[in-house]
Chain A
Amino acid sequence: DAKTTQPNSMESNEEEPVHLPCNHSTISGTDYIHWYRQLPSQGPEYVIHGLTSNVNNRMASLAIAEDRKSSTLILHRATLRDAAVYYCILIKIQGAQKLVFGQGTRLTINP
């Protein structure tokens, strides 16, 4: 099964961009890359997802490497409310459907 690898923790300053990496070197051709985040004592919250092309939405951008073996979640201007655990998730749509979670990156934002 394809797995994801993320740094355990990262730290950034308020109003600066944040780049959260995720490695998924064994990703399959039809695996989607999803990002969720979890604020303290809350359920996970969808951030963004993509397949091959880079994606932008109101929350973040997702940059996917050309070989799809890695991706980067970009928060363009971090705020204190962005402090959370960020999960990089592969969703397989071929064969047995499984969700494969990364261990998550705990993002700390300094004022």
Chain B
Amino acid sequence: DTAVSQTPKYLVTQMGNDKSIKCEQNLGHDTMYWYKQDSKKFLKIMFSYNNKELIINETVPNRFSPKSPDKAHLNLHINSLELGDSAVYFCASSQAGLAGVGEQFFGPGTRLTVL
């Protein structure tokens, strides 16, 4: 019954590794997002996908790449992990795009710790 789910919930890894976080939504929404929340609790959008098209790409390093195999999934791949990548990553989805309408439903978050 979970609307937006993420796996894993916790991820601890070494610097330089490559890791992925998976996100799935069962709401039938058209748009999915990835957000990063740092230690100071600032929440910043990283990507969004609408019908498999990237429509927002904030100034994130190209080590981060979103991949959407279908409308219900938006996975986040991170290459060459750095200490500064440690944060909580949230996936979200919405029926409409960001055009001011439609609430976003957030997943529970994935806490990434890079050692």
- For B41, give its contact among A51, A91, A104 (CB under 8 Å): A104
Q: Which of A42-98 contact B (CB under 8 A)?
A: 42-46, 49, 51, 85, 87, 91, 93, 97-98
Asked whether A49 lies within 8 Å of B100 as measured between CB atoms, the reply is yes
- For A98, give its contact among B42, B56, B90, B101 (CB under 8 Å): B56
User: Can you name the residue of chain B whose Cβ is closest to the Cβ of A103?
Assistant: B42
The bracket for how many chain B residues form the interface is 20 to 34
CB of B65 within 8 Å of the partner chain:
no
- Nearest-neighbour CB distance to chain B for A87, whole angstroms, equals 7
CB of B58 within 8 Å of the partner chain:
yes
Asked whether A32 lies within 8 Å of B109 as measured between CB atoms, the reply is no
- Nearest-neighbour CB distance to chain A for B41, whole angstroms, equals 7
Asked whether B98 lies within 8 Å of A97 as measured between CB atoms, the reply is yes
- Nearest-neighbour CB distance to chain B for A58, whole angstroms, equals 13
Could you say which residues of chain A place their CB within 8 Å of the CB of B42?
Answer: 101, 103
Asked whether A101 lies within 8 Å of B44 as measured between CB atoms, the reply is yes
Could you say which residues of chain B place their CB within 8 Å of the CB of A45?
Answer: 106
A-B pairs with beta carbons under 8 A, tally: 55
CB of B99 within 8 Å of the partner chain:
yes
User: Can you name the residue of chain B whose Cβ is closest to the Cβ of A31?
Assistant: B100
- Nearest-neighbour CB distance to chain B for A64, whole angstroms, equals 13
Known contacts A43-B92, A49-B103, A97-B56: A91-B98 contact under CB 8 Å: yes
CB of B64 within 8 Å of the partner chain:
no
Asked whether A93 lies within 8 Å of B103 as measured between CB atoms, the reply is no
Asked whether A44 lies within 8 Å of B108 as measured between CB atoms, the reply is no
Could you say which residues of chain B place their CB within 8 Å of the CB of A101?
Answer: 42-44
CB of B115 within 8 Å of the partner chain:
no
Q: Which of B20-56 contact A (CB under 8 A)?
A: 41-45, 55-56
Query: Which residues in A have some Cβ–Cβ distance to B below 8 Å?
Result: 30-32, 36, 38, 41-46, 49, 51, 85, 87, 91, 93, 97-99, 101, 103-104
A46-B103, A51-B100 given; name 6 further pairs at CB < 8 Å. A43-B4, A43-B106, A49-B101, A85-B41, A99-B98, A104-B43
